[in-house]
Structure 1
Amino acid sequence: MNLLYVNDRRGEYPDSVYAATRTHLDPFPTLQGPIRADVAVIGGGYTGLSAALHLARAGLDVALVEAHRVGFGASGRNGGQIGSGQRQEIDWLERHLGTDQAAHLWSLAQEAKALVRSLAKEAGVPIRDGVVHACRNQAEIDHANSMAAHLRQAYGYESIELLDRDGLAAMLGSDAYRGGDVDWGAGHVHPLNLALGMARLAGEAGVRLYENTYVSRVTHATRAGEKTIVHCDAGQITCDHLVLAGNGYLGQIEPKVAARVMPINNYIVATEPLGDRFPDVLPRNTAVADTKFVVNYWRLDDERRLIFGGGETVTYRFPRDIAAVVRPHLAAIYPQLADIPLTHAWGGTLAITMNRMPCFARPAPNCLSASGFSGHGVALATLSGQLMAKAIAGQASGFDAMAAVPTPAFPGGALLRGPLLVAGMAWYGLRDRLGF
């Protein structure tokens, strides 16, 4: 099953509210025939666009290929949240990696947010401040309070405001949760416009971008002096360096990565604009994510549409009625919106790892890969592209710090990812429904 095409039409954005409200960017051509480049990049999402942009600004000749349109995948259809830190919290990092490495990873994550804000400003894409973390029980609240205190004391991060039950209810316009916090150093953005803005900047920097260009395989260089060849459906790229940035859509192009990175689907709906109705819903225009394993996450866009993600399925094919999958989750938090018309409903494929930390790897000589951002990719995927660009230029400390985090293979490798997806999503979906 090729996830690039099983749920989507070639060369077309999904029927999302992001595609309906995106800024205009002329299509890029399809690669025809053989070309030569210093660096080839596979994948036109945040990771690939960031890598290509930073490489071009460093003076390298870069060619980027995307099977559909730039920003087509998770980068153009996600919840738009620019979260702080790594996917695992700081206590996990300290416990598993030690305080020094944890501090380095925290610093890189801070750089990631700053990089997104800088690129968004350069591209003219607004970012709104604040992401609320909504807790379901007292144990989660106690942990959130402890993490906020630790980040303040040990890392000097003072942007987290704690919220009791009433404070959280006022912030959300819902009493579905027990308490939590709001991180004013985090933010949210129109994700597709961010990707399109990065693509425009990359093109202006001299990157050759090719859309509707499917990569069937790669012939890696195996010794010094050899070139890498990227085989596409209507052409090929001969290059000195290769960046793999396909994330959940990378498929079997690189089996070493596929064994450690599992694609999963998630689903989002958008309501009609709320206008002056329901002023209690997100009155301070923050984004929100809760503590479920299959996370509920939501935000308002600039027209006050509620964009809400949630719900799990145990197959790689999108359900026929995505709205019916997501609406119950929305209504459980906002019963006042139970019957609100939904104008858009779409699915997307992201990628997770066993430990939910991104997989940074060197699959072959002169080849770098970053993927498996596990729902925390707006900032970290953008940073990963910059880190790979720096590594190619000989400054690999950031990339190596991320690559030093172990990312174990899934049991059975890529072969058993499908059965594991079915079993895992069924189990964790049941746990969420039971309140664990």
Structure 2
Amino acid sequence: MANTPYPESYYAASANAVPPRPALQDDVETDVCVIGAGYTGLSSALFLLENGFRVTMLEAAKVGFGASGRNGGQIVNSYSRDIDVIERSVGPKQAQLLGQMAFEGGRIIRERVAKYNIQCDLKDGGVFAAITAKQMGHLESQKRLWERFGHTQLELMDQRRIREVVACDQYIGGMLDMSGGHIHPLNLVLGEAAAVESLGGTIYEQSPAVRIERGANPVVHTPQGKVRAKFIIVAGNAYLGNLVPELAAKSMPCGTQVITTEPLGEALAKSLLPQDYCVEDCNYLLDYYRLTGDKRLVFGGGVVYGARDPANIEAIIRPKMLKAFPQLKDVKIDYAWTGNFLLTLSRLPQVGRLGDNIYYSQGCSGHGVTYTHLAGKVLAEALRGQAERFDAFADLPHYPFPGGQLLRTPFAALGAWYYGLRDKLGF
């Protein structure tokens, strides 16, 4: 069988050393079979193993091959749609539960890093940067909203204050969230995989799930083996393909692009981001950036609907970087890559159960680093019979994309064009 390596990226080039993991080549039996060894799958596996379950994980390529090992590396709280939008959609009781969970993912990441001694360049502090007065007004109301749910590590910044933390003159203000932060995302995922194995969990790489035999005792088939389990957790997200047709209709893989500069040196790096916080702007089609442990700038942005790989990523992202930091005009780009995330029409995650024993979580809509860690805990709780928090997510309304899979990409691209125009015009 073909061996799928990591795509070329700064993260793959600077990953911590890990042991090779075998492909599944026989029949195994377990309590829970987890499909996908990214953040959602690994978080689920860790919580289950800590509670005495036997866990077997199947990964089509390598641990963290998908969005978990390629994202911008930012720990951003809440969901892609904030709690006020959720409240209007589902009412105060369900929104209260979801609001209480909105800041839990970041805490879980920090607990995992400390408990399992994961080396992933964890840094505290994330900035939301406002370009227009309307965006600043939104941040002011967001601060009030988050504080309503007990989240207090927030500071509004005026133009003078934001200049102290980011050397970019586009911003009129912003909000600093000290419970936000950033990590080397692939090293986080590799550390979590090692933690799974330290607790007796098994991970098979190069072992795609090709078919699920549903029923009272479900079986997951791979090209060369199968896993019999009491429960299945489907955590393939944007890389699930059509394995579960019910899930494919309500979501769409989208690509985002990231570049990484050559090492900038201590002085230049410190002049750009003196406190080493990560930054994202408040545009609908947002730009995001941060420094790495070896003082490179990771800069991402742009969305390609339908997950095609653009021909020249640097040509798309470098101009955005130079708009923020014209002082980097002579700096070389060492790495450029793309990765897929899964978009839902509501931009809220889809969580649920198929039959009695197949659980899933998908569709973080670009807000996955913290949410996936929370999702793992919520899925593990449901398997243990504590379903209140699971039900709060499972009851969120979801709709198929208009026109089905054929038309979902042009519809979404049209929406993005409209919002991109709004960003440009400052609406």
Mapping of 1:29-428 within 5 angstroms?
A: 29-124=22-117, 125=119, 126-152=121-147, 154-221=148-215, 226-278=216-268, 279-314=270-305, 316-428=307-419
The 3-state SS of whatever aligns with 1:193 is: helix
Distance across 2 between alignment mates of 1:374 and 1:303: 29
AA in 1 matched with 2:107: A
- How has the CA–CA distance of structure 1 residues 161 and 273 changed in structure 2, closer, same or farther, with 3 Å as cutoff? same
AA in 2 matched with 1:93: I
* 8 Å CA contact 2:254, 2:303 repeated in 1: no
Q: CA deviation at 1:171?
A: 1.4
- How has the CA–CA distance of structure 1 residues 121 and 408 changed in structure 2, closer, same or farther, with 3 Å as cutoff? same
AA in 2 matched with 1:162: L
Q: CA deviation at 1:251?
A: 1.3
Q: CA deviation at 1:356?
A: 1.1
* 8 Å CA contact 2:100, 2:149 repeated in 1: no
Distance across 1 between alignment mates of 2:97 and 2:242: 32
Under a length normalisation based on structure 2, what TM-score does the superposition of the two structures give? 0.94
* 8 Å CA contact 1:220, 1:227 repeated in 2: yes
* 8 Å CA contact 2:212, 2:219 repeated in 1: yes
Q: CA deviation at 1:95?
A: 2.5
Q: CA deviation at 1:316?
A: 2.7
Q: Which has the higher mean CA deviation after the structures are superposed, 56-65 or 37-46?
A: 56-65
AA in 1 matched with 2:401: F
* 8 Å CA contact 2:34, 2:235 repeated in 1: yes
The 3-state SS of whatever aligns with 1:60 is: coil
Distance across 1 between alignment mates of 2:49 and 2:305: 40
AA in 2 matched with 1:333: A
Q: Deviations over 1:223-252 (max 9, x none)?
A: xxx311212111111211110000011111
Q: CA deviation at 1:150?
A: 3.7
Q: CA deviation at 1:430?
A: 4.1
The 3-state SS of whatever aligns with 2:161 is: helix
Q: CA deviation at 1:369?
A: 0.5
* 8 Å CA contact 2:291, 2:297 repeated in 1: yes
Q: CA deviation at 1:367?
A: 0.5
Distance across 2 between alignment mates of 1:64 and 1:394: 21
Q: CA deviation at 1:411?
A: 1.5
Q: CA deviation at 1:105?
A: 1.1
The 3-state SS of whatever aligns with 1:71 is: coil
Q: Deviations over 1:304-346 (max 9, x none)?
A: 1100001233553312221111101111111111331011111
AA in 2 matched with 1:418: T
Distance across 2 between alignment mates of 1:384 and 1:150: 22
Q: Deviations over 1:133-183 (max 9, x none)?
A: 01121111112112213433x233221111112222231100112211111
2:5 corresponds to: 12
* 8 Å CA contact 1:123, 1:194 repeated in 2: no
* 8 Å CA contact 1:86, 1:106 repeated in 2: no
Distance across 1 between alignment mates of 2:60 and 2:275: 38
Alignment root-mean-square deviation, CA: 1.8
Distance across 2 between alignment mates of 1:303 and 1:176: 26
* 8 Å CA contact 2:263, 2:296 repeated in 1: yes
The 3-state SS of whatever aligns with 2:303 is: coil
Distance across 2 between alignment mates of 1:431 and 1:229: 48
Distance across 2 between alignment mates of 1:267 and 1:414: 23
Q: Deviations over 1:244-265 (max 9, x none)?
A: 0000111111122112221100
* 8 Å CA contact 1:31, 1:234 repeated in 2: yes
Q: Identity percentage over the alignment?
A: 39
Q: CA deviation at 1:419?
A: 3.3
AA in 2 matched with 1:130: G
Q: Which has the higher mean CA deviation after the structures are superposed, 46-55 or 143-152?
A: 143-152
